Chain A
Amino acid sequence: MDSRPSLDERAYVRGGETQTAVKILVVGHFAVGKTTFIGSISEITPLSTEERMTRAGEAVDDLKGVKGKTTTTVAMDFGRLTLSDRVVLYLFGTPGQLRFVQMWEDMARGALGALVLVDPDRLADSFAVIDLIEQYGLDYAIAVNRFDGTPVYEEAALRDALDLLDDTPVVTCDARDEKSSADALITLVRHLLDRAN
């Protein structure tokens, strides 16, 4: 057999024999910017894995207002952040469609929490995602991804529309920006810590 090219050493988990791997989900409806968010902050080029899902849902994907999204396989994108000698954080971008519930179970198991990306222009599309997150008992924060030209929103109105608990954090972020994405994650982790203590 041909010898296969090996990966760059940076592809490997540094100190893998002692590292604790943890994960946070980055969730949101179709094309809300999950992949962009993960790409802006990951130390590795984001990877994608797929599961063979039924193609039955092909016709029902809501493509309204979303160009160039014709994916029929269920791919989840993920990235990695080595945070210390002890902890390596994985960010998994999860499709919000209800019919991928099996994949959700896989993703949610053992997750520290979830960051819900929201497009203020398509608020109603986030309802199902938030329902799922709550159903799996995950704590979460809302990150409003500001696209160019998205309408300015009132936080109170957004909280009302999404029926959020008073202590659920809402932040604005630009998923393309590393610092902005990191700030959203920090807000989430602070919230998770409050909940854990």
Chain B
Amino acid sequence: MTTPDEQPSEAPPLVRPYVITKGRGLPDDEQLSLITLVTAADDEQRRPTRRLTPEEQGLLELCAAGYLTVAELAGHTRLPLGVVRILLSGLTEGGFVIVRPPVERASLVDARILEEVLNGLQAKFG
């Protein structure tokens, strides 16, 4: 199997971030938080109105095989987080990717989730 190290990711430093993002600004943080899960959409959901950039194509291919978080996509592509967010925002609008933002914090939800986390850690390492 291949590792992210083998990906042709040498190009980004030569291109200034705003060129990659075509000058678009940062999207709403809530929607694309660090741990928002992202996966590629089915072909029929896509609304191809333009050609994808190589960076967008790269992100799409990365998440074609399953779910990754926004942070993981940034880590694997070695693009700055802000750039990845902007690209994903465009890909979401075009129906290319589906995002699952994390659940909002609420104390009741928290207690249930914390119990799951605790049980999970104890089962794994206890």
- A interface residues (Cβ-Cβ under 8 A, vs B): 1-9, 11-13, 16-17, 19-23, 47-52, 78, 80-81, 83-84, 86-87, 89-90, 92, 106-107, 109-110, 112, 178-179, 182-183, 185-186, 189-190, 192-193, 196-197
Contacts and interface: CB of A to CB of B under 8 A. Distances in A.
B102 interface: yes
B76 A47 contact: yes
A7 B4 CA distance: 7
Nearest to A8: B1
Nearest to B72: A47
Interface in B50-95: 54, 57-58, 61-62, 64-69, 71-72, 74-76, 80-82, 84
Interface in B24-66: 29, 33-37, 39, 54, 57-58, 61-62, 64-66
A20 B7 contact: no
Contacts of B66: 9, 11-13, 16
A185 B120 CA distance: 11
A10 to B, nearest CB: 9
B116 A86 contact: yes
Given A183-B125, A186-B122, A87 B67 contact: no
B23 interface: no
Nearest to A50: B80
B118 A186 contact: yes
Given A47-B75, A50-B81, A86-B116, A13 B57 contact: no
A11 B117 CA distance: 20
A66 B107 CA distance: 40
A83 B29 contact: no
Given A47-B75, A90-B69, A109-B29, A5 B7 contact: yes
Given A1-B54, A5-B7, A21-B37, A87 B122 contact: no
Contact of B35 (A5, A22, A83, A84): A22
